[in-house]
Amino acid sequence: MAKTANRCIHVAHDFGYESSVIIEYWRSPRRYPMKFLVLWHFDITRLTPDVVRAIAEQPKYGEKLEADGKLECRYHVVGSHGGAWIYKVASNEELDRLLAMSPVYNFATYQVLPLAEMSDPFTVGGKSKQ
C-alpha cells in the first residue's frame, strides 16, 4: 500500500485475465456511503456452460444488493455483454467483498471507478471550505 500525506492508494488483486483495479479512498472516517461505478463484461469467446449459469444468476444477485441498499442502480451496456452497476458501500473492502460474491466474479472483467458527488462546489473546484 503506497501512502501519501492525505490518502492511501490500495492496489487490489487482478479481477481477471486483463484487468486490475486501483481504488483510491480518503483515510478520514466516512459518514456517507462511497459510490463506485463498476463496469463489467464478458469475452464471448470464453463462454462455457459454467459462465452461462453464472450469468443467469447475476440478476438475482443484483436484486439482493438493491434490497440491501448496496446497489444504487444497475444497467445493461447496450452492444456489450455485461453491465454498469453503481455500488453504495462503506469501504473499498466492502466493495471487494461484494464483487467477489458475485456469480460472475471469476468470469467477468471489471473496471472500478470511484465516484464523487458534484452537488458540493468544493468537490469540483478542489478548494478548501476554510
* pLDDT classification of 118: cutoffs 50, 70, 90: confident
What's the pLDDT at 21?
Answer: 39
Structural domain contains residue 102: yes
Among 25-29, 35-39, 88-92, name the one with the lowest average pLDDT: 25-29
Domain of residue 93, CATH code: 3.30.70.1060
- Vertex 50: Cα angle to 45 and 51 (nearest 5): 45
DSSP letter for 64, please.
H
The contacts of residue 7 (CB under 8 Å, 6+ apart) are: 24, 25, 26, 27
Q: Report d(CA 60, CA 65) in Å as an integer.
A: 9
* pLDDT classification of 120: cutoffs 50, 70, 90: low
pLDDT in tens, 53-75: 999 999 999 999 999 999 999 99
- Residue 114: Cβ-neighbour burial (10 angstroms; 0-12, 13-18, 19+): middle
Domains identified in the chain, total number:
1
- The whole domain housing 44 covers 29-117
* pTM of structure: 0.68
Number of other CB atoms surrounding residue 33 within 10 Å: 15
User: Which grid coordinates are listed for 11?
Assistant: 492496489
Structural domain contains residue 3: no
What's the pLDDT at 117?
Answer: 83
